[in-house]
Structure formats: structure tokens, C-alpha cells
Amino acid sequence: MLRSRIIPCLLVHKKGLVKTVNFKDSKYVGDPINAVKIFNEKEVDELIVLDIDATKEKRGPDFTLIRNLAAECRMPFCYGGGVSTVEQARRIISLGAEKVALSSAIVDNPLLCAEIGVAVGVQSVVVVLDVKKRKLLGGYDIYTHNGKVKSKRKFKEFVVELNQIGVGEIVINSIDKDGKMNGYDMDLVSSLRDLCDTPITVLGGAGTLDHIKNLISRFKIIGAAAGSLFVFKGKYKAVLINYPNREEKFPLY
Amino acid sequence: MIGIVNYGSGNIEAIANIYNRLNIECKVINKPEELEIADRLILPGVGSFDECMKQLIDSGFKDKLNELVLEKKTPILGICIGMQIMANSSEEGSLEGLGWIPGKVKKFDESLLKNKPYLPHMGWNNIKNIHNHIIFTGVDEIQGFYFVHSYYYECEKEENILTVCNYGLDFSSSVFKRHIFGMQFHPEKSHSNGETLLKNFAKLDIC
């Protein structure tokens, strides 16, 4: 049986790893390479690493970091942050990453997905959409630059467009749920699932393994990503890298 | 020494990383004439069937590989599309495959799949070693391997099926014919199972 993927998502800020709440209040949680070594030992299904400074600082990806991370990873590894050209994507894949994640560059120019897809294979092209719920009108808005810049793109239409162009995966990241650890936004996932048949990974809100279990039991085959859940432990959010072992994981499917 | 065939396709670096960690000597082979320095070969592959075959032909690797694998019986392990091109043909393309292990590559039937996203078959899935082949010694079959593909290898002969996996139907997740092995999943992305398998291939006593 194909199992849903349970994916730690790590954020790189000033060369260290951080965890945020609603994309703010970043808290230092450790060293990237060290974290990857621990996640290797725990045999995580997949790993997403996002450099949250790159686009904001108007710079490209940190290839040295990518090379070092890829050399450690024994699982599929997805890297994002500052990727805006076909050449950068090609280089990231050639360094040993499985997938390359794009966000603001695709919101600016969705056709870039197709160009990168030709270069590295569509299955390796991941689009991360940071979204925030509209307060009055309902629906969602897409944001870029760490939730600072609201895009003019309409969420639903944009997802349909991406589905038509063809992308390997959409990571839907809820800004409202980020770091809250009170469960995924199931309505958001449900509206996205109806709009496309692209593989989806959900990020934002997971605080317990039951949240992951609920997501999988409703959507069957889905990527369940989490930051806080896999880097914090306990009520006081002590930093401790963790991941369900085999006995804890199999009942989630 | 393990030679990783670099014909312009596939995640060369990830495979080399594993052998480096295992302290097993490996080399990325960039030219067909360098192939002979390796005593066993890995044939990676990503993208489409035709694209891989075309790159294999254009880079001059195809003829030399045929000679080494079919005449000199050099052990070889194909990964993902590197496995699929060992078949005779594929529904994904029009070019002829290497034809080393009789079979045809077919697209998964979406009508057999219950839940979106249907394709690709992506993620971790369990496998069953139906021949109890020693290349899978030490592999946890329930944990399985990481897959990402929309086409699968349909063997002409049951004797060539090494392991099976289920996605809408039972399909050959790996195939073999004496010294020729093909794996649909990605051992280079599959933690200790993948490492065990790549190590077993490096040490396998085939003759």
C-alpha cells in the first residue's frame, strides 16, 4: 500500500534553523546539517528545507548549503528559497536534491514551471503557495516574501492554472496556521484537492500525530508536512528533534 | 569498482554519496571508453523513456553497454527510467528499448486508482521479494522504498520478476535476469533499505 508522506519542513534563517509563528517571531532551533543527520537516523519519509531569507534579500539559493545537505540526505530532499531560473533549478537537482521548490518566481510567472519541468522533470518541480484566509469575503489570498507581499493572483484560478501547466507537487502553506499547532486547515486542503489532481503537501498547523492521522484519513494520499511538531517537544516547546517511529507511524495510515 | 553511468540523465550525485558513505569505491563514468574500468555498473535515469534512450544513443554509451552487459556479463543495476529502458518498448515513447529483460513498459490505469492524485505513484510503498533473491538480504519489505513514476515494467516472463508492489494492480517493482537488475524505486533515496540494497549489489557474487 502506498503510504502518505510525513514530512518535516525546516526553515533556514541566517544560516541556522528557525521556527516561526504566523511567519513571525522566529525561534532558533539548531544547525541544518545536524538536524538532517538526526532526521536520517529517524528515517523520515522526505525532507523540505526552505531558505526564508533568499527572496527577501533578493539573492539566489545557497549552493554550498544545498550541496552539504544533499550529501547527508538519504531520503528525498526538496530545497526552496530564492530559486528563479531554470539554471538554478538544474544545479540544485544535479547536487543531489530530488525536488526544487519555487514560490514567488512562479507567482510572478507560472510558465516558469513548464520550463523547469523540461529541464529537470515535472515530478521534481514543487510550487509552495503561502496563503492567508480572507477575513470578510471568504476564500484565500496568496502571499510571497515571507507573507509580506499580497499577490494579485486569485487563489483558485491560480491553482487551476498550475494544474494545467503541470507541476510535480503543490505545497500549501497556511500562514494563519503556521506554528499554531492546533490542526491543519481542512477546508483549505479540501478546496485545493477539488481544484486539481496534482500531488498536494499540506503545511501549517500540525501539533500532534492525530492531526496528521485526521488529514490522511480524510484525503487518503497526501503529504503531511510539519515544522513545530518535529522540532519542539512538550508544553513549553523545548527544542527537540523528533519524528514518529515505525510503531507510531503505521497506525496513522 | 562501481561505475555510475553518466549519460546525461539521473541523480548521479545521490548514488555516489551513498557509496562514498559506505566506503565502497565508485566512479562517475562520463565516456563510453571509460566503462571498462568498472567491474559493475549503475544505470540511473530520470525524465521520459525516449529522452533517456536518445541520450544513451547520442552519448555513445548504448553500444558499449550492450557489449559489456550482454557479452562480458558485467553486472548492472538500472534505477527508475534506467530500469525501464531495459525493456523492449514503452507506451511512453516510440524508441526501441535495450531489450535486455523481455517486457513492455506500460502506464498505470488511472481507473483502477481510488484517490487523487492518482499519478504519479509517489511515496513509500512496501514490496515483496518473490524469488528470495539474496540482493534483498537485510531489506525490510514492509518499510519498502521510495517510488516516483507513472509507468511500470510488465515482464514477459514471470521468472524475471524480482519483487512486486501494489498500486491499483500488482506490478514488478524490480526485475532481474542473472547479472542484470532493474529497480523501479529509488534505493538512493530509501534510507537503510536503499543502502543495504546498493551494498548488496556491490558485493553480490553473481557468477
| pLDDT given for residue A178 in this prediction | 98
pLDDT in tens, B135-168: 999 999 999 999 999 999 999 999 999 999 999 9
For the annotated catalytic residues of B, the residue numbers are: 80, 186, 188
* Cα separations in angstroms, A241 against A69, B137, B143: 17, 31, 22
| pLDDT given for residue B55 in this prediction | 94
Q: Which of B148, B176, B168, B180 is nearest to B73 (CA)?
A: B180
Closest-CA residue of A relative to B46 is A121
Contact, A188 vs A215, CB < 8 A?
no
Length, in residues, of chain A? 253
CA A42 to chain B, closest CA, distance in angstroms equals 9
Whether the predicted pLDDT of B10 surpasses 80:
no
Query: Kind and range of the H or E element at B13?
Result: helix B12-21
What does the CA dihedral B54, B151, B18, A42 come to, rounded to 10 degrees? Answer: 160
CA A199 to chain B, closest CA, distance in angstroms equals 5
As a CATH number, domain A5-252 is: 3.20.20.70
Closest-CA residue of A relative to B195 is A74
Where residue B207 falls among pLDDT bands split at 50, 70, 90? low
Closest-CA residue of B relative to A199 is B117
Q: Which of A192, A201, A125 is nearest to A165 (CA)?
A: A125
| pLDDT given for residue A70 in this prediction | 94
Whether the predicted pLDDT of A135 surpasses 80:
yes
Residues 6+ apart with CB under 8 A from A168: A99, A117, A121, A122, A123, A124, A125, A126, A198, A199
Q: Which three cell numbers stand for residue B60?
A: 555513445
* Cα separations in angstroms, A209 against A220, A240, A245: 15, 16, 11
Q: Which of A25-29, B13-17, B64-68, B98-102 bottoms out in mean pLDDT, i.e. has the lowest?
A: B13-17
Averaged pLDDT of chain A: 96
Q: Which of A7, A36, A39, A74 to mutate to test the interface with B (most CBs of B within 10 A)?
A: A74
> What are phi and psi for residue A178, nearest 5 degrees?
-50, 120
| pLDDT given for residue B9 in this prediction | 76
pLDDT in tens, B41-65: 999 988 889 999 999 999 999 999 9
| pLDDT given for residue A153 in this prediction | 97
pLDDT in tens, A172-230: 999 999 999 999 999 999 999 999 999 999 999 999 999 999 999 999 999 999 999 99
Inter-chain residue contact A199 with B126, CB threshold 8 Å: no
CA–CA dist A21, A56 (Å, integer): 18
Asked if A33 reaches chain B (Cβ–Cβ under 8 Å), the answer is no
Superfamily of domain B2-203: Class I glutamine amidotransferase (GATase) domain (3.40.50.880)
Q: Domain limits of chain A?
A: 5-252
Asked if A182 reaches chain B (Cβ–Cβ under 8 Å), the answer is no
pLDDT in tens, B77-115: 999 999 999 999 999 999 999 999 999 999 999 999 999
Averaged pLDDT of chain B: 95
Q: Which of B140, B189, B193 to mutate to test the interface with A (most CBs of A within 10 A)?
A: B189
pLDDT in tens, A50-103: 999 999 999 999 999 999 999 999 999 999 999 999 999 999 998 989 999 999
